[in-house]
């Protein structure tokens, strides 16, 4: 096996010449069994399988157990563990530094749906080219088990009685704000998580990936909607999903007419959707709203690629930036000439 540049690949190296190790982070300090840890692992796996160079990725997070996790993957990527609920703005600004980098953000349900609702909505509206993962456990892990805004009505928690409010549905919110990529998954479904991460990292625009990620310490009773038990019992994928990077050939082995649906990304990559119960078209907004609405009524945890749209400009595209990353420009490009100032001065009265 040889790497792209023709040199000999290390054993276990991918097309970028990197091994799994090059994608790891510091050891996790989260609880053993925490859903967030399995998601970190899938991020590592997805990046490795996508042959991404870690230096081309930016990591962002807010505050929470979930938001700690970017320290536990992609050590060779720059990252910022920002403020509670305010990650999207920092990520937005940072994305302008070098438009060729790919931001990947990890947030929690508290971080996004409670304190962070405003910035969540607005980063979607701007269609920042970023994968935005919400590790959704219906609870505040890091502050020890209070209700978050995605906790289901009636949920009982040890020290906080019963939740009297209706839950916020992160995918519905993402759709309402016109997100160009909306997906839900379950941390217990490693393969789907991984494929959706790959798709989301490849998507050009804001990809919302809401992953039900159980908090084993504070919200893992079998009847709690964000628990492993509940997920195992109730997860209902709307399709079986495989991401195929654009360089690879699509090979569907036992291909049956009408059994698959393909969604093509901006770069030619494809998400291959194997139909399950019914044929679901993720490019149909109304269908997306409907499937979420119905799932809420039926109390099932639907997972999969709920909505996808291509063609809308991402934020940095709108801004028509120089090809050279802005942060590599020097005084020469950044300070207009002395003459121009003289002109400006004469243009004043």
Ligand X SMILES: Cc1ncc(C[n+]2csc(CCOP(=O)(O)OP(=O)(O)O)c2C)c(N)n1
**Stretch 37-76 residues interacting with ligand SF4 (CB under 6 A):** 65
Cβ nearer to ligand X, comparing 109 with 210: 109
Kind plus residue range of the DSSP H or E element containing 82: none
Q: How far apart are CA 54 and CA 14, in angstroms?
A: 12
Tokens coding 305:
């690629």
Output the smallest distance, CB 180 to a copy of itself, in A. Answer: 10
Query: Does 217 help bind ligand SF4 (rule: CB under 6 A)?
Result: yes
Cα 256 to Cα 165: distance, rounded to the nearest angstrom: 46
**Candidate ranges 21-29, 108-116, 183-191, 325-333; the one touching a copy of itself (CB under 8 A):** 108-116
194 phi/psi in degrees, rounded to 5: -65, -45
Per partner kind, with CB cut-offs from 5 to 8 A, the member of another protein, Mg ion, ligand SF4, none near residue 104 is none
Residues 6+ apart with CB under 8 A from 121: 173, 177
Residue 299 in the binding site for a copy of itself (CB under 8 A): no
Question: Which of residues 23 and 280 has its CB atom nearest to another protein in the complex?
Answer: 23
Classify burial at 342, counting beta carbons within 10 Å of its beta carbon; exposed 0-12, middle 13-18, buried 19 or more. exposed
Choosing from 2, 290, 322, 324, the residue that interacts with a copy of itself (CB under 8 A) is: 290
Cβ atoms 53, 18 nearer than 8 A? yes
Q: Does 3 bind another protein (CB under 8 A)?
A: no
Determine the length of the chain.
Answer: 349
**What CA–CA distance (Å, rounded) separates 73 from 39?**
10
Question: Measured from the CB of residue 321, what is the shortest distance to ligand X in angstroms?
Answer: 27
Residue 92: both structure tokens together:
């937005």
**Contact region with ligand X (CB under 6 A), list: 5-13, 46-54, 131-139, 180-188:** 131-139
- For position 109 contacting Mg ion by CB under 5 A, the verdict is yes
Q: How far is the CB of 281 from a copy of itself (least distance, A)?
A: 15
Q: Considering only residues 31, 190, 221, 289, which one is a binding residue for a copy of itself as defined by CB under 8 A?
A: 289
65 binds ligand X, rule: CB under 6 A: yes
Helical pair 87-95 and 117-126, crossing angle rounded to 10 deg: 30
- Taking CB under 8 A as the criterion, which residues in 152-211 touch another protein? 159-161
Window of 34-42, 137-145, 170-178, 284-292 that interacts with Mg ion by CB under 5 A = 137-145
In the range 105-124, which residues lie near ligand X by CB under 6 A? 108-111
The closest alpha carbon to 171, from 276, 308, 62, belongs to 308
Q: Which stretch binds a copy of itself (CB under 8 A): 165-173, 250-258, 268-276, 302-310?
A: 165-173
Q: How far is the CB of 210 from ligand X (least distance, A)?
A: 12
Q: How far is CA 116 from CA 61, 62, 94, 149, 252, in A?
A: 11, 9, 18, 10, 41
Residue 326 interacts with ligand SF4 (CB under 6 A)?
Answer: no
If one asks whether residue 227 binds ligand X (CB under 6 A), the answer comes out as no
Helix, strand or coil for residue 301? Answer: strand
User: Does residue 194 interact with ligand X by CB under 6 A?
Assistant: no
The CA distance from 206 to 182, in Å, is: 9
Structure-token pair, residue 295: 């799932």
Residue nearest to ligand SF4 (CB): 141
Q: Where does this chain bind a copy of itself (CB under 8 A)? A: 114-118, 121-122, 125-126, 149, 164-166, 168-169, 172-173, 175-178, 285-286, 289-290, 293, 313, 318
């Amino acid at each position: 096996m040889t790497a792209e540049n023709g040199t000999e690949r290390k054993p276990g190296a991918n097309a970028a010449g990197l091994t799994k190790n090059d994608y790891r982070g510091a050891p996790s300090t989260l609880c053993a069994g925490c859903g967030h840890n399995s998601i970190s692992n899938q991020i590592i796996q997805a990046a490795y399988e996508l042959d991404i160079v870690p230096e081309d990725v930016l990591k962002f997070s807010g505050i929470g157990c979930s938001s700690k996790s970017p320290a536990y993957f992609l050590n060779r990527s720059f990252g910022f563990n920002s403020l509670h609920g305010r990650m999207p703005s920092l990520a937005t600004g940072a994305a302008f530094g070098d438009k060729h980098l790919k931001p990947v953000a990890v947030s929690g349900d508290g971080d996004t749906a409670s304190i962070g609702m405003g910035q969540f909505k607005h980063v979607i509206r701007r269609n920042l080219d970023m994968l935005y993962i919400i590790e959704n456990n219906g609870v505040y892990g890091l502050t020890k088990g209070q209700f978050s805004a995605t906790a289901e009505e009636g949920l009982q928690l040890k020290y906080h009685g019963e939740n009297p409010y209706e839950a916020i549905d992160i995918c519905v919110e993402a759709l309402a704000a016109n997100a160009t990529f909306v997906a839900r998954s379950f941390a217990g479904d490693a393969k789907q998580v991984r494929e959706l991460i790959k798709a989301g990292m490849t998507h050009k625009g804001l990809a919302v990936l809401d992953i039900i990620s159980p908090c084993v310490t504070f919200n893992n009773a079998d009847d709690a909607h964000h628990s492993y038990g509940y997920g195992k019992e109730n997860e209902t994928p709307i399709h079986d999903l495989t991401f195929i990077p654009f360089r690879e050939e699509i090979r569907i082995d036992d291909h049956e007419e009408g059994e698959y649906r393909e969604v093509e990304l901006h770069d030619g990559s494809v998400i291959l959707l194997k139909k399950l119960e019914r044929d679901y078209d993720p490019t149909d907004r109304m269908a997306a709203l409907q499937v979420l609405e119905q799932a809420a009524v039926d109390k099932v945890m639907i997972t999969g690629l709920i909505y996808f749209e291509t063609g809308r400009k991402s934020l940095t595209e709108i801004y028509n930036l120089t090809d050279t990353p802005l942060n590599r420009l020097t005084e020469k490009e950044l300070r207009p000439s002395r003459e121009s100032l003289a002109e400006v001065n004469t243009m004043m009265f």
